[in-house]
Chains A and B, each alone.
Chain A
Amino acid sequence: MKRVFRSLAGLAVFLLLWEGIVRAGLVRQEFLPPPSVVFATLFQLLGDVSFLRDVIATFLAWLIAVLISVAIAVPAGLLLGSIPGLRASTAVIIEFLRPIPVAALIPLILLLIGSGPDAKITLAVYASLWPIMFNTIYALGEIDPVLLETARACGTSKTRTLFSVALPHTAPFVFTGIRLSATIALIAVVSTEFLAGAELGIGNFILEASTGSTRFDLVLADTMVTGILGFAINGGLELLGRRLFRWNTADREAV
């Protein structure tokens, strides 16, 4: 409980500082609206149907992207992770593909797929494949050999071993990968909307608000919505992960 209070206190201090800086005239109000204005706008937006449609559009695109990502990356990771020869050779390819910034692919995707939801989803899937694959492969390599030997000594068949020893053990790592992917996917979806100007979506909303007659309170309010969404997704998955894998004592990634 103390932690919640402290978090709120920290948040309050931050907001007060922000409000203070703007009111004191250090930054012009049109450029950086104070929290009071931003929150007012935020509440207004929440009642605005078209904005809600944007939010839902983004959320749906995100959800689909994550599901596709998981469906591809988990089996791929399991496959690549359990065949050592394959892992080494695909490693180089992955190391080349992974660092290509997703945004750089936007022009290409726009040409191929146009600017509808498909583009968003494709890019988001591409961006979010990697954490899941990596964590799955890594996890398979990390299985305590003692566990595997014990299974073998008990006469467990190879498939059985895979399902009842390897999979449960790798599950927490894979889940962390999924959590990271979910965050990245959201960023990818919103970024694509913003950079490519989709028809619907939070990113598109920011784009429209920031061009033309710039309304920064809208921009900030919308950014806040994105932040809250991302925060909620990450936090929610973290909690879920902790409950599902309470028995896990291994070190998980911090970020």
Chain B
Amino acid sequence: MSAITLSGRVGRGVSSILRTWLLFIAILVLWEIVTRAAANTFFPPPSKIATTAAGLWFTGPAGHLFLTDTVFDNVFPSLGRTLGGWLIASVIGIAVGVLVGRSRTAMDYVGALFAFFRALPPPALIPIFIVLFGIGPGMQTGSIIFGAVWPVLLNTVDGVRSVDSVKVETARSFRTPKGYWLAMVVLPAAAPKIFAGLRLSLSISLLLMVVSELVGPPNGIGISLLQAQQAFDFPLMWSWLVLLGLLGYGFNAVFVAVERRALAWQPTGGRN
């Protein structure tokens, strides 16, 4: 590649990044100006939120990467529950989804049940989980798993069932054994749909983390958010809120990057 085209490419890349973030930065600036002008305690300006957040999370000892105890006591446990719950839900969802999807009639029996469970608002199930696990991390992780399993499961079933008939015949014509059939044909064929389900269940996991923590101690981002609101400490409350937004964005971005690599074989190059 010649130097000219390389720099052209870099130039184009930089300008597209700038364009994308330009509007974002513009809105950020606007937000700052408007909130300063309004001087409403409910809406502190972004600069105030940033300083509060920095003080809250990043003024710890150097040995801990400058992270404060708050981070260790609240952020990490929440993250652990969210991601842990999501992973468990994903494994269960894919495994059960493959089992149900492989059978032609299984879905007839349980399809309506699954749809019903999916329609249940996860927050409304919190009381049930409190009963089963008591208030605490068990309940929180449990409700995350229960809420996040459905999109994965249903999408897996759909993906497994809609494997191209020509591929089915091809695999049969080679007498493909069950194990190879599942691992090398069914799962890759269903992968796009499974990934879509995984993505949705990741955002549901985050939501349930917050909800389950709003309801109960001992620690977590959700309860910190609530406590800040109850103490009328708005910069603090907004700090936690912004953190949630960042987490959601971060999870999504990482997921999309992984998905793009995993599904790179698609003719459209793993386009979203």
Contact = CB atoms under 8 A, between A and B. Distances in A.
In the complex they form, whether A and B have CB atoms below 8 Å apart is answered with yes
A102 B115 CA distance: 22
8 nearest interchain CB pairs?
Answer: A99-B248, A230-B119, A10-B109, A107-B229, A210-B127, A6-B108, A89-B23, A254-B158
Interface string A207-222: 0011000101001101
Contact of B115 (A92, A98, A234): A234
Contact of A101 (B119, B158, B207): B207
B181 interface: no
A85 interface: yes
A187 interface: yes
A110 B234 CA distance: 13
B245 A99 contact: yes
B131 A254 contact: no
**Residues of B in contact with A, size category:** 35 or more
B113 A11 contact: yes
Interface string B92-134: 0000000000000100111111011111111111111011100
B116 A31 contact: no
A186 B214 CA distance: 20
A159 B207 CA distance: 41
B211 A101 contact: yes
B168 to A, nearest CB: 18
Given A107-B226, A191-B121, A191-B122, 17 more contacts: A10-B112, A31-B132, A89-B20, A89-B24, A92-B21, A95-B252, A98-B203, A99-B244, A103-B211, A104-B244, A187-B123, A191-B211, A195-B211, A210-B130, A231-B112, A231-B115, A254-B159
Contacts of B120: 223, 226-227, 230
A244 B66 CA distance: 58
B23 A93 contact: yes
Interface string B156-183: 0011000000000000000000000000
Nearest to B272: A138
